């Protein structure tokens, strides 16, 4: 919640709502959510703008709004030279570093007068029924990438139910951690501890659980995807490195003292995302039993809130070794190159409609996603492969409907 007076100033500056409101209406949480939705959908423009609260885009960026990534978008096609909306290219290396010139993400667009960092060529390969993707940069605008820089295509995850995952106590997550595989079941989930501003926190959001909470995750997306500053990421030039002087010297919509996305606006966007409900829980008891019996439930668990309410996202929010086949060569936070946070499975149906499963969308269906599982998931994959055709279909139908 933000003070009512701040809300009124935000409404006036954004020209979003033109209805008379009582003090009670202003105080209602539903207003926070409605305003957050408008901000989530807003298209930002470059600075300077006649409407200051709208500017700050870029100068280098991948999207003009949050909604541009988190909505139905075209699937990436082989030979693509312009990334479909929603997909981004992460940059990094096995030491946890970023590219010294291009930063942590490849920005494929730029405001007027700015040179985009690169185009991208997407190549799909298919071997033994499994699809993989390779991303190659084209038209690099600022010189070559570092020799050890790796590129990883990343798709936008579902936002549904994130408010519940944010509310799961740390203790609930940590009780499933077994980094040394003490019970010798082959599964060794690790807590994704990260240090932010000198404070050690438990990561739970992002493909490698590098963000401990929703504000941190949203601020990272504002910075890398849209080039907007917040209190948590105050650099007004977003992901531009010191080498990219033109980007850093360009007009910006804010300063380190007054970010482009003010504190109330960031809080409203977070409130909206946290309000998105999860899909209805599946009632397929037979499919869920097969899911557990094959070992999928060792990582894709049901967590609980402090009051015992189950959160049926089927994730332990821990990091797991998923094998070299899924490794992307990038260490991020506590996640090594081959480690990934257990992906929540609720809303798998939407992910399938929007382009695929796994971090880069390579898996065209649930079966293909399972076949890519290795490392700690190798036993569960083998158990899945041994199922009868009928049981395999039942398990796939259960997960596909989540």
CA atoms within 13 A on the CB side of 57: 21
Q: Which residue has the tokens 């003010």?
A: 262
Spatial separation of the C-alpha atoms in residues 88 and 374, rounded to whole Å:
25
Phi and psi of 383, rounded to 5°?
-65, -40
Are 303 and 284 contacting, i.e. CB atoms less than 8 angstroms apart? no
Spatial separation of the C-alpha atoms in residues 332 and 164, rounded to whole Å:
24
Residue-wise pLDDT for 289-323, tens only, equals 999 999 999 999 999 999 999 999 999 999 999 99
Residue-wise pLDDT for 330-357, tens only, equals 999 999 999 999 999 999 988 888 778 9
Which pLDDT belongs to residue 184? Answer: 84
Which pLDDT belongs to residue 261? Answer: 96
Is it the case that residue 80 has pLDDT exceeding 80?
A: no
Determine which of 17-26, 191-200, 233-242 has the lowest per-residue pLDDT on average. Answer: 17-26
Spatial separation of the C-alpha atoms in residues 258 and 276, rounded to whole Å:
29
Ranges assigned E (strand) in 184-337: 192-196, 199-203, 303-304, 310-311, 319-321
Nearest to 108 by CA among 58, 42, 43, 49: 58
Is it the case that residue 8 has pLDDT exceeding 80?
A: no
Q: Give the strand pairing for 339-341 and 319-321.
A: antiparallel
Instruction: Please give the residue that has the higher pLDDT: either 73 or 289.
Output: 289
- Neighbouring CB atoms inside 10 A of 38's CB total 16
The percent of residues in the chain predicted with pLDDT above 70, rounded, is: 89
Which pLDDT belongs to residue 81? Answer: 54
Phi and psi of 334, rounded to 5°?
-90, -5
Spatial separation of the C-alpha atoms in residues 315 and 161, rounded to whole Å:
12
* pTM for the structure as a whole: 0.90
Ranges assigned E (strand) in 139-207: 150-154, 192-196, 199-203
Spatial separation of the C-alpha atoms in residues 379 and 376, rounded to whole Å:
7
Residue-wise pLDDT for 139-188, tens only, equals 899 999 999 999 999 999 999 999 999 999 999 999 999 988 888 889 99
Instruction: Name the β-bridge partners of 137.
Output: 120
Nearest to 120 by CA among 93, 148, 85, 89: 89
Longest dimension (CA), the chain: 64
| Residues sharing a CB contact under 8 Å with residue 329, sequence separation 6 or more, in sequence order | 92, 93, 94, 150, 152, 337
Is it the case that residue 79 has pLDDT exceeding 70?
A: no
- Options 3.40.50, 3.30.390, 1.10.760, 1.10.3470; which CATH number does 162-193+278-400 get? 1.10.760
Determine which of 39-53, 154-168, 263-277, 361-375 has the lowest per-residue pLDDT on average. Answer: 39-53
Spatial separation of the C-alpha atoms in residues 107 and 86, rounded to whole Å:
12
SS3 call for 348: helix
**Which helix (H) or strand (E) is 124 found in, with range?**
strand 119-127
């Amino acid at each position: 919640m933000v003070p009512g007076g701040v809300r009124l100033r935000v409404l006036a500056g954004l020209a979003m709502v033109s209805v008379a409101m009582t003090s009670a209406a202003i105080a209602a949480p539903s207003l926070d959510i409605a305003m957050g939705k408008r901000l989530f959908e807003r298209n930002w423009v470059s600075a300077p703008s006649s409407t200051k609260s709208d500017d700050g885009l870029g100068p280098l960026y991948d999207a003009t709004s949050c909604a541009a990534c988190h909505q139905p978008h075209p699937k990436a096609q082989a030979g693509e030279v312009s990334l479909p909306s929603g997909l981004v290219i992460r940059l990094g290396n096995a030491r946890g570093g970023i590219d010294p010139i291009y930063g942590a993400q490849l920005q494929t667009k730029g405001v007027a007068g700015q040179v985009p960092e690169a185009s991208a060529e997407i190549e799909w390969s298919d071997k033994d029924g499994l699809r993989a993707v390779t991303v190659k940069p084209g038209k690099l605008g600022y010189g070559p990438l570092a020799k050890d820089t790796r590129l990883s295509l990343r798709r936008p995850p579902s936002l549904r139910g994130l408010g519940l995952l944010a509310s799961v106590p740390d203790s609930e997550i940590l009780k499933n951690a077994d980094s040394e595989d003490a019970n010798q079941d082959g599964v060794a989930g690790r807590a994704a501890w990260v240090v932010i501003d000198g404070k050690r926190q438990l990561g739970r959001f992002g493909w490698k659980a590098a963000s401990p909470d929703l504000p941190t995750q949203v601020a990272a997306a504002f910075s890398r995807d849209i080039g907007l500053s917040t209190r948590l990421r105050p650099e007004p030039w977003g992901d531009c490195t010191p080498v990219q002087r033109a980007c850093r010297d360009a007009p910006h919509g804010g300063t380190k003292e007054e970010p482009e996305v003010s504190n109330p606006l960031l809080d409203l966007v977070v409130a909206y995302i946290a309000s998105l409900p999860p899909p209805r829980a599946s009632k397929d008891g037979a499919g869920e039993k097969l899911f557990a019996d094959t070992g999928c439930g060792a990582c894709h668990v049901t967590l609980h809130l402090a009051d015992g309410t189950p959160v049926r996202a089927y994730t332990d929010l821990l990091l797991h070794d998923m094998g070299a086949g899924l490794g992307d060569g990038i260490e991020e936070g506590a996640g090594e190159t081959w480690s990934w946070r257990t992906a929540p499975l609720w809303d798998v149906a939407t992910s399938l409609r929007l382009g695929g499963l796994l971090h880069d969308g390579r898996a065209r269906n649930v079966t293909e996603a399972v076949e890519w599982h290795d490392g700690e998931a190798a036993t569960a994959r083998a158990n899945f492969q041994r199922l009868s055709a009928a049981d395999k279909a039942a398990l796939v139908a259960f997960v596909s409907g989540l």
